[in-house]
Amino acid sequence: MNKYYYDYIIIGAGITGLNSAINLSKKGRVLLISKGDNNECNTEHAQGGIAAPISTEDSVKLHIKDTLDAGDDYCNEENVKFMIENGKNAIENLIYNGVNFDFDGEKLSLGKEGAHSVNRVLHSNGDNTGKSIRLSLFNKVKNTSNIDYKSNLFALDLITKNNRVFGVYTLDKKNGELDIYLSKGIIMSTGGCGNLYKNTSNPEVTTGDGIALAYRAGAYIDDMEFIQFHPTTLNIENAPNFLISEAIRGEGAVLLNEINERFMVKYDKKMELAKRDIVSRAIYEEIKKSKQKNIYLDISFRDKNFIKNRFPRVYNTCLKYGLDITKEYISITPAAHYLMGGISADINCKTNIDGLYACGECANLKVHGANRLASNSLLEGAVFSKIASDELYRYSLETKENEDIDDIIKKYLLEIDYKNIDYKKYKRVVKLKTALREIMQDKVGIIRDKIGLNNAFILICNIQKELELINKKNIDYFELKNMILLSKIIIKSALYRKESRGAHYRSDYPRKNDKFKNGFKFKIDDEKKVVLN
């Protein structure tokens, strides 16, 4: 077991982690770690683009209104205003760091997506926006001497004492080695938890580990019931739920049922460009009412070259599975996509633990409310990663020398039974993971009710009991432990929220109830029990 010292540690290497690392590299030595390879993050899969009010037809005020409307009266308006007012600067910073956005002639090309009033979504290389941003920032990170980037490190737990964070324990996914990294402070930028669900647009690494780490360290987490389901992911046998960008609907694509009916006209006046929660529930209802197996998205009526140039990633991916979207309908289904809740943090990304900051999808800054506006996620990451890094630097100047934490480390190694950690795969743990994801999909999905939620909680508690009987502990074991923790909190939150708002829909409480506008914060107490605030 080795100890390493850095000025700053950043956990997670999407847009928030990369941007934070670049900013902090000017202030000291930075460690940036990722759970998987550098391209295994939600940023890589973001297709639509990044929203910002930069056109003459747009305004900060209008973008704020659209964000608040989409958030279903649950956003922090001050934080939303701050994010959008700083959007233009964040875009300029991305361009400075090498991101090349698409142009129409001499003007930036701007797309339109669901619940946006005007065209305001910038994109890069068509529907490869997230990939382009990640590559540009990652190249900057690789060429910055003050940043050490380490991939395939699983963050086990944070090292804390007296409500202050000192570092992180990590497990190397390739050889099972446990290491300790210490620093003046940590930024959590670990993304969401879409992989708690069987059907998800997220990569396999998104199991909410950063949120679970922060929770076990004593941080508050809140609004975990708000899981956004993206209406359109690929629905082909033996193919993953590949994201079919909302920008396709922004370019005129229509949703059709098996009798070729454009059904969204029955659900919302904005039809295909309604809010994501509305479109997802409409698809769910169409399937349920008519017992149809398939819902389709059709863009084939547009020019073939336009489709291939504007959506090269969707076109090529579908073609790989034998589907030519310039000629055929795309079979789609909603899938878990984005977490609006997460680690509770203020406008400066500060948590209730000294030295611990959070931004991006793992954090809850209340800028998305109960339902995120399309393409505001990359905007949040770009804006608040700078804030988090600036605030961590300011904190580091004020902190005293580190306390003696050897006693904390020794105690932790005993608790996790360090000698029984292995890096091999165990089929039983993998099967338990699959079972959990199926339970979440079936009972904690787009439409929920008390009976289904209670059944899900019991079934997941049974999975937890079985996991505790397993002696050999590996990465899958610790990952499943995190998945169980977050699933239980999601279910509890969904049970407490006896209303329907945004992405959280209770069939037994189908209306909004302002009694629940303040939400629920969860924290662990000294006896390791859940405390509801």
Distance separating alpha carbons of residues 91 and 136, to the nearest angstrom: 13
pLDDT of res. 417: 80
Numbered ranges of CATH 1.20.58.100 in the chain: 419-522
With respect to CATH, is domain 232-335 assigned 3.50.50.60? Answer: no
* pLDDT tens, residue by residue, 18-46: 999 999 999 999 999 999 999 999 999 89
CATH code for 419-522?
1.20.58.100
Handedness of CA 479, 484, 489, 495 (dihedral sign): positive
**Does residue 108 have a pLDDT over 50?**
yes
The average pLDDT across 462-474 equals 90
The average pLDDT across 236-264 equals 92
The average pLDDT across 159-171 equals 96
* pLDDT tens, residue by residue, 115-147: 999 999 999 999 899 999 999 999 999 999 999
- How does residue 403 score in pLDDT terms, banded at 50, 70 and 90? confident
pLDDT of res. 527: 40
**Does residue 529 have a pLDDT over 70?**
no
**Does residue 1 have a pLDDT over 80?**
no
Q: Residue 355 — left, alpha, or beta (φ > 0 → left; ψ -120 to 50 → alpha)?
A: left
* pLDDT tens, residue by residue, 336-348: 999 999 999 999 9
For residue 452, what is the enclosing H or E element? helix 450-468
User: What number of other Cβ atoms are within 10 A of residue 410's Cβ?
Assistant: 10
**Does residue 349 have a pLDDT over 80?**
yes
Of these ranges, 36-40, 287-291, 355-359, 521-525, the one predicted with the greatest mean pLDDT is: 355-359
Numbered ranges of CATH 3.90.700.10 in the chain: 232-335
Distance separating alpha carbons of residues 503 and 341, to the nearest angstrom: 11
Q: What is the CA radius of gyration of the chain?
A: 22
Angle at which helices 15-24 and 376-398 pack, to 10 degrees?
30
Distance separating alpha carbons of residues 96 and 311, to the nearest angstrom: 25
pLDDT of res. 22: 98
Which pairing describes strands 356-358 and 363-364: parallel, antiparallel, or unpaired? unpaired
Mean per-residue pLDDT over the chain, rounded: 93
The average pLDDT across 361-368 equals 98
**Looking at the annotation, which residues are catalytic?**
276
Question: How is residue 85 written in tokens?
Answer: 């007012």
Which of 171, 150, 194, 190 lies closest to 422, judged by CA?
A: 171
* pLDDT tens, residue by residue, 272-311: 999 999 999 999 999 888 776 789 999 999 999 999 999 9
CA-to-CA separations, 168 to 127, 209, 213, 368, 532, in angstroms, rounded? 36, 13, 9, 29, 26
Distance separating alpha carbons of residues 250 and 257, to the nearest angstrom: 19
- How does residue 323 score in pLDDT terms, banded at 50, 70 and 90? very high
Helix then strand then coil, in percent of the chain rounded to 5, is: 40, 20, 40
Residue type, 258: E
Distance separating alpha carbons of residues 496 and 533, to the nearest angstrom: 12
